Structure 1
Amino acid sequence: MQALDAVAVRQWANACVRSLDANREDIDRINVFPVPDGDTGTNLLQTMRSALDSLLRTPGDSVGAALAALARGALAGARGNSGVILSQVLRGLAEAAQGASTASGAALRDALLRADELATAAVSRPVPGTVLTVLRAAAEAARDAGSDDLDQVVTAAAKAGAAALAETPRQLAVLARAGVVDAGGRGLVVLLDTLAAVITGREQPPPPVTPVLPRPPEALTTAREAGSADYEYEVMYLLDGLDDPEPLRTALEGLGDCVSVVGDGNGLWTVHVHCNDIGAAVEAGVEAGRPHRITVARFADQVAAQAARFSRDRAVVALVEGDGVAELFRAEGAAVLRPDGPVPPADLLALITGTRARHVTVLPCAEGVRAPLDEAVSQAVAAGQDVVVVPTSSPVQALAALAVHDPARRAGDDVVAMAEAAAATRWGRVEVCQSEAITWVGRCRPGDLLAVLDGDVVRVQPEPADVAGLARLLVDRMLAAGGELVTALLGADAPEDLDRVLEEHLRAAHPEVELVRYPGGQADALLIVGVE
């Protein structure tokens, strides 16, 4: 097929409904951003059904008229954020083909670029790794296809969309944590693949489908696709007579989030907002134009009992470095995140919410996580989880806290016990100096050995290094104030006999003290020591 005509548009719309229906549950299941358990697949399907219904009711033998009917129906029946974006994709296709009887490869290229522009404008805060990323990749591939042949353009767009979809977990941390691709992006790839199949003839287009629009239930609820859990309702309506969308958009942004005010290019607008004041959202529409088809849905995550949301009462989350240390915490039942460079708040939020626990205790014994952790905890608490951070500066403090963790205790009492155990644990480390600095005990230079006690450098040993000797000195100093248990975590670059040297030294100098040692595998310290 070298030109897209009205018949092909109907074939494509039919095939899209069937394909989305077949993939609906899978797309719903992988909807984890920004709130898990959404209904992106369902919303895309219902929006596309509305688009097909409009097409079947509209006479017209040109590709421009057919795509305009699809866009109009999608806008009128848009469900959720994904439905709004789909309506703008179809509007972009319709605008590029306006007045044309058929669409060539060049026209499809322009249509995808316009769809990308409109869909991006429909989202107030675009995020990489979503359906917009997939759409942009498809549009740019169509633009750079190097051919005006329709089959070459659509094939390039579909392949690029699939490749971009596969990359979404690398762009959005919450997808990587869940091991899924973006749900909206997958829905768009289904539509692109279906269009490619219709144009290239690789598959026989499925038979026509008579769309059946769902009858709204008396008490409408929906899953939350995006936005803050602070807002309880999704308000949507169609709007006529709107001259300037910006004042309405500004008014709605003052009421809630996930605001979109988008049109079909012919005077019909759809309005979408998450808010708590339903009346104010509708009044804003009345002041701006003539609202109709008003739909108010209460979010299912607000309606459902908290017991349905949480699968267990308690969980412990640890932020640690080193293979051995991570395995220690996992063996004790903690959920573990190993920071590798700067940690996005989304990673931390995914770890906390992924426990599905009502009460979460966080042990932050890795460097550079305080600011993103504060942000993630704030978001989790706002969404209804009880999250408490126990101050820990070292993994040995976190291990001491985890050792007294008792899920059978009241949550508050348990957190107090864990905090007391961490605070009662002195911690030290032997590490190699990485840069020149001034310490409490003098200047240190790269390559020097440092003994650190409770965060302060207490000994600098210039090269040649004597790791075992400095470790003995550090342990003696830590035990000067008393102690019954020494925990040693051996770093990835620790000397092979370091644990044996420590054992022999403690047996001779402190026979009353018990030693436990583990291969910590941390890269930033040769030895980490805790004394309890």
Structure 2
Amino acid sequence: MRNRTLTGQVLRQMYKMGAERLTQHVKKVDALNVFPVPDGDTGTNMNLTFTSGVAELEKLAEQTAEKVASVFSRGLLMGARGNSGVILSQLFRGFAKGLADSVEADSHKLADAFQQGVEMAYKAVMKPVEGTILTVAREAAAAARKAARSGLIEDVVERLVEAAQKALDNTPNQLSVLKEVGVVDSGGQGLVYIYEGFLKAVKDGIVFAEPEEAKPAVAGGMSLFGKTHDEMHHVINPADIKYGYCTEFMVHVRPDAVFTQDEFQERISAYGDSLLVVSDEDLVKVHIHAEEPGEVLSLAQQYGALDRIKIENMRLQHEEVLRRQKTRQALKSPSETPTVSAERSQVTEAVRGEPDFDIPQPENAKKPYAIIAVASGQGIADIFKSLGVDRIIEGGQTMNPSTEQFVSAIEEANAERVLILPNNKNIVMAAQQAAELVDVPTAVIPSKSVPQGMSSLLAFSADEPLEQNRDRMSEALALVKTGLVTYAVRDTTLNELIIKEGDFIGIFDGDVVTSGQDAYETAKALISRMVDEDDGLITVIYGADVKESAMNELEKQLRASFDSYEVEVHDGGQPLYSFIIAVE
């Protein structure tokens, strides 16, 4: 049937099928990451963002095109994760504005809405780059507007898809790094899949019979096992903890790996207890209490790429609970009520990173400032708290917090002013979007790494206005150099380096500069590239896969090799990155 108007009901189906089509290809989009590192998450971020819009539609009974588009846009806005998710939310925010006051939309209205989406997305990006999702969206919208002359909705969407695919194929000619690695733009590919779902909806409205590479969406920072996981923790007797680290992760099983769940469970059970393994074709979710989480991850990595890693020290968590309980009891006892000076002392200790005890405050009293930071790894979170951070949002690579998570954190902080440290370039836009949605004066410090976030905190002054802190802390980002050591998830050639899957790679301020088969040697080579005669301090934060004994040996070697520099070492507990290095 050839339609000349788009109803709200059909638009709702377009959104649903766009989400379904993207979900089918999440892993393909993730795999298009330019760097061969285990954090390609564009597809995951776009999928979580888009499905949040579909979930919002489930609450809507109204069927006008305007209302469907508006509600869907709101869901995307709050669920946006990563830069790709934020751009996607802006595309469909502009699209919704283009359908304002429309019970139904004709071909010209629909095409113009796609164009308005492009214009809003471009405004959201400070320095738009050609060869990205923006290019794909722009060229697709231009073709849709030409096709609108026929008056048929199907023609508009069909030309939209054709032009999007053509633009996507051309992205390597616009971005040299895409051509060097041999991939198309990941965000653009995700958008093409969404548009293909739109076309399927308007042409015949049927769902795909056999989803390709379907992958369950797991929001960053959330438990992989939901209620089951919570119940397992509830029955733990802390006095009987033999294996102290609650470890959760996912494994994307390689096609050539020989995997059976029984054999995998038997091997991994030797490392701990409270084991729970759930497998679904080529995806495995694991929960285990282990004493050596690094060894667990090493074993699992033999089967494929790791994802959604979460490690928590249960002994420290229990000690924290006991301290809080003792303080609450003391504060409730009239005979042991702390003096004003004691209360101030406890507040001071909390700012330095000690447990934030429940000190009685006037009802609804607001703090002058609250600082929110994104971090992954208990050790890194503790360092941030010691530097004055009030709230930690768990996240980082592969776990990009949503706009809604930032909004909730800002509102729950109960402060007059809020500063946010994203600590990852792919999280900055979501934080900025959240800052625009709240009534609380909020500034985002565009920190792109953990070392940058830590450096910026040293420039913070509780006595200064928000704008001045924002400027000073942003300037401090340039005072530190960042190095990362992780492993390659595929063969590639980058920056004239021939990298094989499984090699360790050293990244210096966003550029891959060295690689090798040993993480520790790679770290030393990376530091050699980072330091110069003007530097004085080398800080190494080691991850969950690094053994303390090996780190002690590396520390000795670093102190000997770089004897003119001060060397600090911290246990960060972070996933994916063996080492995070700061030089200043």
TM-score (norm 2): 0.44
Indicate the structure whose relative CO is greater, using CA pairs within 8 Å and at least 6 residues apart.
2
Instruction: Tell me which structure has the larger Cα radius of gyration.
Output: 1
